[in-house]
Structure 1
Amino acid sequence: MARPKRIEPGPGQESVWDYPRPPRVEPVHARVTIELGGRLIAETTRAMRVLETSHPPAYYLPPEAFVEGALVPAAGSTFCEFKGRAAYYDVVGGTAIAPSAGWYYPAPSRGFEAIAGFVSVYPGRMDRCTVDGETVTPQEGDFYGGWITANIVGPFKGSAGTWGW
């Protein structure tokens, strides 16, 4: 499939097509929240985001941002060519359980040390994720876990037919 045409960002917006490859990690000082099972299960102003060409950012929160019991180690792992081996958590809020919906890099590759132990979640498997009060739109598909906000424009990788971008 041919690479799609970049959407020109407006004032205050970023295009995911301007993000680098390999990805870049940067701190986020906005208030980031995650809700599941009708409960606030995580909140921080010390998140990190990973920016990669064609992908909405994935937000990583420090583990202490999560309420006790919200992260339960899950089986399995995956490998990212840039960040290394990821481990998974089942994410729990109230009586809701989202299996393998959170992931982290215990020992990330060089250049990604800033996210060591930080946890990202698939926003589409949560009740709600926010960045500075704005509800996040989940990236399409079930492989990537990008968080789309109004200041991010695409088109975005993830939906059917975009694997080869």
Structure 2
Amino acid sequence: MPRPCPEKPGPGQESVWDYPRPPRAEAVSRRAVLHRGGTVVADTSDLVRVLESSHPPTYYLPRAAFGDYLRPAERTTVCEWKGVARFVDIVIPGLPPLRDAGWWYPVPEVHYPELRDRVAVYAGSFDQVTLDGEIVAPQPGEFYGGWITKDVVGPFKGVPGSWGW
């Protein structure tokens, strides 16, 4: 599939087609709150976002923001830029666990020190994820973990036919 025609960003918006490849990690001053089954799983303004061409931003929260809810999972993946990712389950007493709901880089590659001790999550795994009070939509596709908000425009990788973008 050929590269799609990027949407034109409006005031206060970014196009994911202006994001770099390889990706860039940057600290941001925004507040993320993750909800599951009436429980606030994480609430923090200490965020790092990763920007990669064609993807909505992926937000990384401090591992400490999850309290006792993180459990190591068996799954691992490799990112050609960031390194080996270990997945985590989210375990809240009285609720079924969220399997492989997030991931982290125990030893991120040298160009991504900002990701040390941080976890990214799939927004769609939770009842609700908000960013500065706005409800986040998950990036399409089961492989990707970007968060879609009103301040980013696509089209976004992950829709059917976008594997080669």
Shorter-chain TM-score bucket reads: over 0.9
Identity percentage over the alignment? 53
Q: Find the residue that maps to 1:61 and give its secondary structure.
A: strand
1:29-80: CA deviation from partner (whole Å, max 9, x where unpaired): 1111111122101011111000000000110000111132x10111021000
Shift of 1:110: 1.5
User: Which of structure 1's runs of 4+ aligned residues deviate more than 6 A?
Assistant: none
Aligned to 2:132: 132
Distance 1:10 1:114 in 2: 29
**In structure 1, what residue type is equivalent to 2:90?**
V
> What TM-score do the two structures reach when normalised by structure 1?
0.96
Is the CA contact 1:63–1:119 (under 8 Å) kept in the aligned structure 2?
yes
Aligned to 2:60: 60
Aligned to 1:78: 77
Matches within 5 A, 1:88-107: 88-94=87-93, 95-107=95-107
Distance 1:67 1:159 in 2: 33
Shift of 1:92: 2.2
Taking a change above 3 Å as real, the CA distance of residues 51 and 14 of structure 1, as seen in their structure-2 partners, is same
Distance 2:15 2:135 in 1: 19
Matches within 5 A, 1:1-165: 1-68=1-68, 70-94=69-93, 95-165=95-165
In structure 1, stretches of 5+ residues that fail to align are none
Q: Find the residue that maps to 1:53 and give its secondary structure.
A: coil
**In structure 1, what residue type is equivalent to 2:96?**
A
Which stretch of the first structure deviates more once superposed, 130-139 or 35-44? 35-44
In structure 2, stretches of 5+ residues that fail to align are none
Q: Find the residue that maps to 1:59 and give its secondary structure.
A: strand
Is the CA contact 1:59–1:120 (under 8 Å) kept in the aligned structure 2?
yes
> What TM-score do the two structures reach when normalised by structure 2?
0.96
